[in-house]
Amino acid sequence: MSKAYYIGCIKCGRSREELREAGKLEDLETWERCLDCNRAVEPLWEDGDNLYTYDVEGRHFVMTKQELENRRDRARGIPAEPVQNNPVEHPAHYTEGKIEAWDFIADQNLNYFRGCALKYIIRAGKKDPSREIEDLEKAVAYLNRELARLRENSGGKCETS
């Protein structure tokens, strides 16, 4: 799978960047939310005219590309409230380096557990230095969940490749 067709709110159709500029993007540690819609901001993957999300359970149809464009056009009427250096919408502990954690997770199409593990690894020692160990333990916990899922799916067989 290549780059996501779109990363944004699937209800109002605004992209992640638009929401951030409008001060409507909230970082909830392991996912992001559109504050106007109270919906997850996530990558959508295209297949023909349709857009899908992927999670641990597989692929889910969301809407057609045309529907996304329609929603986006409607949402553009919502007045923007520019916010700069907002620690909630654009926290420094996830934006250090050239690529933001969320963009990397989406670009790599990591599932929920792998994405969460990565976010905790990235923020460990940065967001709150006193909780560095706790953050890394959370990363391990998410990786263990992913391993449990894979082992369950493979029926207990070991992968040899």
Q: For binding to Zn ion (CB under 5 A), which residues are involved?
A: 9, 11-12, 34, 36-37
Return the closest-CA partner of residue 27 out of 10, 40, 37, 14.
Answer: 40
* Least distance CB 43 / Zn ion (angstroms): 15
Nearer to Zn ion, 106 or 124 (CB): 106
Nearer to Zn ion, 72 or 127 (CB): 72
Nearer to Zn ion, 40 or 141 (CB): 40
* Least distance CB 73 / Zn ion (angstroms): 14
* Least distance CB 12 / Zn ion (angstroms): 3
* Least distance CB 150 / Zn ion (angstroms): 33
Joined tokens for residue 59: 């692929």
Return the closest-CA partner of residue 99 out of 3, 11, 34.
Answer: 3
Nearer to Zn ion, 24 or 123 (CB): 24
